[in-house]
Amino acid sequence: MEESILSTIGHTPLVRLTRVLPNIPFSLFAKLEGFNPGGSAKDRPALHILQEAMRTGAIKPSTVVIESSSGNLGIGLAQACRYLGLRFICVVDPKTTAQNIRILRAYGAEIDLVSKPDPVTGEFLHARINRVRTLLQTIEDSVWTNQYANLSNAEAHYRTTMDEIATELDGKVDCLFVATGTCGTLRGCAEYVRDHHLGTRIFAVDAHGSVIFGGKPAKRLIPGHGSARRPELYRADLADECLRVTDLDCVVGCRRLVQTEAILAGGSSGGVLSAVERVKDRIPRGATCVAIFHDRGERYLDTVYSDEWVAEHFGDIAHLWRGQPELEPCVMATSHISGRDNRSSSHA
């Protein structure tokens, strides 16, 4: 029995993928972060950032928590703040989906909408951060959790995400594929790998049009990975290799995942899968690989999983996932012997 909804954060399933990339000579596992109660990996840093700030006295019962977020971290903070009795203001922009705003409001978050991009950069992210700074100056006893620079963001993934992966696989993780945004997950996992001498090759999966690993900013349709500014948590030595994926990669990857593995995953997960496929011929036979799927797909039903939205932005591309090989029927045997524990391993 759990003490509260917040105590259910973490210990998400690690599931073997056997169908979406058939005949690969290595084992591929997916860390399904959508099983967190708020629906994403961001639940982990949301709770840890708040707990650390409360421990140090930076957050008190009267403190107003402020964050810039278009989605998952905002929802994670909204849920945690609701349970902890803290006032929370989430600074969003017009790209934030109506569904995410409804979820935020359901948890009691106050929405502060930035309607225009930053006049210098033309980016909404910069405008949101500027708005956060303004709120901090005008609201007494307010704190910015600052997911882009807060070391507690990375620490949450060091202590939980990567530790769970390494523990389940007995330390044998040859390759890790991580979508990047704030670099919290990437940094936490990379520092764990280094400190525990795992020898894991880390692939950072970034979006085309993101500037995290260099390059010029460009328009992106699918949120959840990439950034219009390099976050303070970034370090050049975190990843062994950066793989950039397009919005189309994300759509096709997600559609193939749900068709073959019955996993309804968020947009960046499709990009991560596409990155794995891109380098699959370079992965040694017998290797153990893990792809972190950061959130679940219900929040993308009007975009990634909408045939109309996909056709509007990419044309008729259904053949890219409907061309998958026919799958053999899967027959599952269940024992009815009284008293026998039939629970299957999370590796199954």
Q: pLDDT in tens for each of the 348 residues of the chain? A: 889 999 999 999 999 999 999 999 999 999 999 999 999 999 999 999 999 999 999 999 999 999 999 889 999 999 999 999 999 999 999 989 889 999 999 999 999 999 999 998 888 999 999 999 999 999 999 999 999 999 999 999 999 999 999 999 999 999 999 999 999 999 999 999 999 999 999 999 999 999 999 988 888 888 889 998 899 999 999 999 999 999 999 999 999 999 999 999 999 999 999 999 999 999 999 999 999 999 999 999 999 999 999 999 999 999 999 865 555 555 544 333 333 343 333 443
Parse the chain into domains and list their residue ranges. Answer: 5-35+160-322, 43-144
Inter-residue contact 270 to 300 (CB < 8 Å): no
| pLDDT given at position 348 | 39
Distance CA 190, CA 303 (A): 31
| pLDDT given at position 339 | 39
Fold agreement between 5-35+160-322 and 43-144? yes
Cβ density class 262-279: b for 16+ within 10 Å, e for less = ebbbbbbbbbbbbbbbee
| pLDDT given at position 333 | 41
CATH fold of the domain at 5-35+160-322: Rossmann fold (3.40.50)
Q: What SS3 class is residue 64? A: strand
Q: Phi first, then psi: what are they for 148, rounded to 5°? A: -80, -20
CATH fold of the domain at 43-144: Rossmann fold (3.40.50)
β-pair partners for 110: 89
Looking from the CA of 209 toward its CB, the CA atoms found within 13 Å total: 11
Distance CA 101, CA 220 (A): 20
Residue 120: other Cβ atoms inside 10 A: 9
State the pairing for strand pair 175-179/142-144.
unpaired
Residue 215: other Cβ atoms inside 10 A: 12
Nearest to 228 by CA among 123, 82, 325: 123
Cβ density class 87-114: b for 16+ within 10 Å, e for less = bbbbbbbeebbeebbebbeebebeebeb
Inter-residue contact 185 to 195 (CB < 8 Å): no
Q: What SS3 class is residue 53? A: helix
Distance CA 45, CA 151 (A): 9
Distance CA 196, CA 175 (A): 15
| pLDDT given at position 217 | 87
β-pair partners for 27: 288
Distance CA 264, CA 256 (A): 10
Distance CA 80, CA 46 (A): 7
Nearest to 215 by CA among 228, 231, 201, 234: 228
The alpha carbon of 159 is separated from its chain's Cα centroid by a whole number of angstroms, namely 16
| pLDDT given at position 215 | 84
Q: Phi first, then psi: what are they for 88, rounded to 5°? A: -135, 130
Nearest to 271 by CA among 221, 205, 318: 205
Q: Which residue stretches of the chain are H helix? A: 43-56, 72-84, 98-106, 124-138, 151-156, 162-168, 184-195, 247-260, 267-279, 307-314, 319-322
Distance CA 305, CA 297 (A): 8
